[in-house]
Amino acid sequence: MPSSRLLFSSLSGKLALYQTVFHQLKRFDPKSRILAVDSNPDCPASSKVGAFKVLPVLAKLADEDLIHFLQKENITHVLPTRDGELTYWSERSSFLAQFGVHVLCSHLDAIRHCEDKLTFGQMVTPPPLTMIPTFASISGSQSRRWVVKERRGSGSRSILLNLSSEDALHQRSAFDEPVFQPFIAGREFSAEGWMDDQGRCRAVLLRWREKVVGGESHKSTTFHNPEWESTVTELFTSLGGLRGHCLAQIIVDEGNSLHLVEINPRLGGASPLSLHAGLDSILWSLQEGGMSGQFKPLFIPCFGATLSKIKSEVIISYS
């Protein structure tokens, strides 16, 4: 059987994530290879990976040119890593499968649902988890403190926190399509999971977000809470259309109640920690390979593992 070659898209500065994904790829097939791509030839990690090539901006890339590139590079799998490209790859997943290229991402309807914060805010969540309400306007609301963010895309970018009603209205002009959420104070954790090809959540790993810079965890530690893990499992399964790796951001308020911030159907900036700590999501997606629900992942989580990001260096330690 020919060896696998995975395309790691939107490399940017994701060196730690690239290395962790490559490690799982090698566990799947020691002869496998990985090609990192980005539209920026001078992206931060381009000189630090084994194989790198420039892939033009996807919106400007014709399908026939995409196929030519993938076949020329002998690509068997594609792993999207950026919010803005998930729709592109999911829309073409069936088309690419005809050429033997498998895209590791969720279904299009789930991606679109998660990207649109306004419609996502209407989602019914399993108790005890509650959804943070999202509004197109703050008129008529009783909340005194607000979060302002873009309606579509990642909620961790272009976000303003803990604003007064007056400031929230004033700052809305800085956004293309602003939405408003009541500000909830508390601790925040990420819940990362793996969905099989039947849409079942087969593994969940929780990690506290202890230091956050620009929406990305620069210090994060895995922990165990069976009740919360069960709730997140039900959440991921209930959405429908999620496949492979996905993560949720959740706030725990001072009364220990859980509030859902968002779901991202992709790997995150601190996902190398989860992949090192037993959530072998890339390995499992490759191993599953169309086994129609018969695949059983071996999940042995490690609690108390910590990721620390200092400047551009990512360090993972175990207690």
pLDDT of 173-211, one tens digit each?
999 999 999 999 999 999 999 999 999 999 999 999 999
Residue 139 pLDDT:
79
| Number of domains forming the structure of the chain | 3
Indicate if 189 and 312 belong to the same structural domain. yes
Indicate if 217 and 281 belong to the same structural domain. yes
Domain assignment present for 126? no
pLDDT of 93-108, one tens digit each?
999 999 999 999 999 9
> By C-alpha distance, which of 1, 11, 2, 4 is closest to 75?
4
Residue 158 pLDDT:
75
Residue 87's CATH number: 3.40.50.20
Its domain, for residue 143, covers 133-182
Indicate if 154 and 279 belong to the same structural domain. no
For the chain, list the strands marked E by DSSP.
5-8, 33-38, 52-54, 77-79, 102-103, 129-131, 145-150, 159-164, 178-182, 187-195, 201-213, 216-223, 244-252, 258-264, 305-310, 313-318
pLDDT of 37-93, one tens digit each?
999 999 999 999 999 999 999 999 999 999 999 999 999 999 999 999 999 999 999
Indicate if 149 and 73 belong to the same structural domain. no
Indicate if 313 and 194 belong to the same structural domain. yes
Average of per-residue pLDDT values in the chain: 93
Residue 40 pLDDT:
97
Domain assignment present for 125? no
Cα 104 to Cα 20: distance, rounded to the nearest angstrom = 16
pTM: 0.93
Q: Describe the strand order of the beta sheet including 145-150 as a list of residue ranges.
A: 159-164, 145-150, 178-182
The fraction of the chain above a pLDDT of 90, given in percent, is 84
Indicate if 80 and 190 belong to the same structural domain. no
Residue 155 pLDDT:
46
Indicate if 193 and 164 belong to the same structural domain. no
Residue 156's pLDDT band, with cuts at 50, 70 and 90, is low
Indicate if 163 and 228 belong to the same structural domain. no
